Structure 1
Amino acid sequence: MKKQHPVVERSRERLAALGHIESRTQFGGYALAVEKVVFALISDDALYLRASEALREYAARQPMQPLVFRKRGASVSLDYYRVDDALWRDAGQLLALSAASLDTARQASQARERSSRLKDLPNLSLRMELLLHEAGVKTVRHLLELGAKQCWLRLRAINQHVGLKTLLALEGAIEGRHEAALPQAVRAELNAWYQETLKASTV
């Protein structure tokens, strides 16, 4: 069996009370999720928790380092904050803050799902909604479950003209933001996948 990343293993052990923690590679690191809801990221061997009200209150007393990506020489902060050694040692506090992050992520996911129409999501027009319906993606929940890449592949199967912009639009819709506001690391990862997918389809 392939050995898991040590910080993934450590996180699963410490946060087991949250439920079954799934991990997947994402943007050069890992995303941690419970029932497909992402509440933490691992980058450069450090665990980062999604911002929540409880996390902000804790950070006001004990400053936390945000997750930062570099974008053309500039720093772009994501709404995730680093778990330092002191917090790792405080098992109860770590679990409580992680639970708050998961709860906040769940609320955001549920809010997106309550958008009754795909066209109500950022970046998605009525035309895109109709294309997604044709591709078998008829609800916001299904879009979230499949993810941007799988939805794009379905669209590509029925329309060879969909390109990188559509992929970025789908990711933005899932994250609840305009595609132009996607972090550079996200855009770079999706662009690399897109280029590899095109290359594989021409072989």
Structure 2
Amino acid sequence: MKKRSYARIHQSKECLSSLGEINYRSLFGGYSLTIDNVVFAMVSEGELYLRACEQSEVYFVKKAAESLVYNKRGRAIALNYYHVDEGLWCDREKLLQLSTDALFSARREKSRQKTQQRLKDLPNLTHSLEMMLWEAGIADVRALHAYGAKRSWIKLRNVNKALGVRVLLALEGAICGIHEAALPAATRRELVEWGHLYQRRHTR
């Protein structure tokens, strides 16, 4: 399978050379394709997948293109990349256009992310908790604020039921911008009582 993937990477570099110098590295059990450290495509099990973007969405949905699926701890997670079939490989002009769109969109998103605060940069939130939040569908600070501490905690418990009320307090502190130990006593008491009640109701 590695041989097929390396062959596909070589083919991609040849066909898309006009975009710039393409590099690759291991990612999600396959290989990411990058230009200037911006990921715009993936190669998995010998197949190329282009990063989805607004410009290419209509084309890939119309073609019913398959998404790249990553298996994590027995769970299938569909990634935001679309399969490049043989028909598209034969249409080099269209392939180049879609790849250009994917690269442009990825560059724009990366530039936007540089100005945004990451979840792990908030008080109380570690890298591992940030990863769990991503898995639960909470990918940025804005989403965390929109869901609030209680709903975010419930979503996290759907990923890991062992999480206790300490994480609930950590989320509230992160949203407020303070260490969880600095939460007002009334807020802590209300959250702890609510969290314990939720746990009792959902562990029967």
TM range (shorter): 0.5 to 0.7
1:51 matches 2:56 = no
After superposition, the C-alpha distances for 1:9-53 in whole angstroms (9 at most, x for unaligned) are 000000001101111112221100110000001111100000012
Residue 118 of structure 2: aligned partner:
121
Residue 127 of structure 2: aligned partner:
166
RMSD: 3.0
Change in Cα spacing, 1:171 to 1:18, as seen in structure 2 (3 Å) is farther
Residue 67 of structure 1: aligned partner:
68
Residue 107 of structure 1: aligned partner:
108
- SS, match of residue 5 in structure 1: helix
Residue 93 of structure 2: aligned partner:
92
Change in Cα spacing, 1:60 to 1:104, as seen in structure 2 (3 Å) is same
After superposition, the C-alpha distances for 1:128-158 in whole angstroms (9 at most, x for unaligned) are 8xxxxxxxxxxxxxxxxxxxxxxxxxxxxxx
Change in Cα spacing, 1:95 to 1:9, as seen in structure 2 (3 Å) is same
TM-score (norm: length of structure 1): 0.59
1:81 matches 2:58 = no
TM-score (norm: length of structure 2): 0.58
Aligned residues: 137
1:35 matches 2:36 = yes
Runs of 4+ in structure 1 off by over 6 angstroms are 170-173
Q: 1:177 aligns with which of 103, 123, 139?
A: 139
Residue segments in structure 2 that go unaligned for 5+ positions in a row = 141-154, 160-204
Residue 5 of structure 1: aligned partner:
6
Percent identity over the alignment is: 34
Change in Cα spacing, 1:24 to 1:64, as seen in structure 2 (3 Å) is same
1:15–1:95 Cα contact (<8 Å) kept: yes
1:68–1:77 Cα contact (<8 Å) kept: yes
Which structure has the larger Rg? 2
Distance 1:172 1:39 in 2: 24
